[in-house]
């Protein structure tokens, strides 16, 4: 349901939308201010969550906040996430399993666009994330176990913000950063990094077996930094709490 910001003191707008068939919606884009909460009930999910050969696309534009809560998990062929021009996209699910790639992208200037995904289990052959301008992407595990895995990941930043996939363990990774942005990741076999500017590439130990490219920008997270990284999960969970019907009045 969209929960709009009050247009006048004491005035609120709450609109509830019910879908006729469960688990059919594959594309969802939201524009404008306010919040949209997407959830399900005992009869099923609003979004298509069991499509092993289909793609799910979610997007938040121009100041919108989109909260997707999926208790049943997602098993899809691929997933595309986008936030731009002040849009914020929050996805919370028990598991995210994709036969194909998962892609996340953020674009904008000085407007705080962001994508946060929190899940107990993630599996995909390929993960890609890109930030253009100002924005943040964070994939976080809420289980504390190493159950978020992918074969390879590719992270690209052109600007000053960050991508954090430190809770996802990959075999290989490529990172390219232009500007003062930072990327945090975890990879076991090899890492290729290319940076220009004051960029930083942080990796969780144990680090990759082989490193290529701009080694001067690489930083191993210290024990204190790693502990802080793990403690941020509680703050992420609080930020992803969707507004309720009661909060609209």
pLDDT lower than 70: segments of the chain: 1-12, 40-43, 110-111, 144-145, 248-249
pLDDT at 186: 95
pLDDT at 237: 82
pLDDT at 2: 46
pTM of the model: 0.91
Q: Which CATH class name applies to 2-248?
A: mainly beta
> Where are the chain's structural domains?
2-248
HEC secondary structure over the chain: CEEECCCCCCCCEECCCCCCCCCCECEEEECCCCEEEECCECCECCECCEEEEEEEEEEEECCCEEEEEECCCEEEEEEEEEEECCCEEEEEEEEEEECCCEEEEEEECCCCCEEEEEEEEEEEEEEEEEEEECCEEEEEECCCCCCEEEEEEEEEEEECCEEEEEEEEEEEEEEEEEECCEEEEEEEEEEEEEEECCCEEEECCCCCCEEEECHHHEEECCHHHHHHHHHHHHHHHHHCCCCCCHHHC
């Amino acid at each position: 349901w969209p929960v709009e910001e009050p247009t006048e003191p004491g005035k609120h707008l709450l609109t509830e939308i019910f879908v006729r068939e469960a688990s059919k919606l594959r594309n969802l884009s939201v524009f404008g201010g306010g919040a949209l909460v997407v959830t399900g009930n005992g009869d099923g999910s609003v979004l298509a969550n069991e499509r092993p050969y289909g793609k799910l696309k979610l997007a938040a534009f121009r100041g919108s906040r989109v909260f997707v809560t999926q208790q049943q998990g997602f098993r899809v062929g691929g997933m595309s996430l986008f936030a731009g021009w002040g849009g914020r996209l929050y996805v919370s699910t028990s598991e995210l399993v994709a036969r194909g790639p998962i892609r996340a992208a953020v674009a904008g200037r000085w407007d705080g666009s962001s994508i946060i995904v929190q899940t107990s289990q993630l599996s995909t052959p390929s993960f890609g994330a890109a930030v253009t301008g100002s924005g943040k992407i964070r994939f976080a595990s809420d289980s504390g176990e190493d159950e978020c895995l992918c074969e390879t990941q590719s992270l690209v930043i052109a600007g000053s913000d960050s991508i954090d996939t430190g809770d996802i363990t990959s075999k290989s990774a490529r990172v390219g950063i232009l500007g003062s942005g930072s990327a945090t990741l975890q990879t076991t076999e090899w890492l290729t990094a290319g940076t220009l500017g004051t960029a930083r590439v942080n990796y969780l130990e144990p680090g990759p077996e082989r490193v290529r490219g701009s080694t001067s920008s690489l930083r191993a997270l210290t024990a204190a930094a790693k502990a802080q990284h793990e403690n941020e999960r509680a703050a992420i969970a609080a930020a992803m709490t969707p507004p309720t019907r009661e909060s609209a009045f």
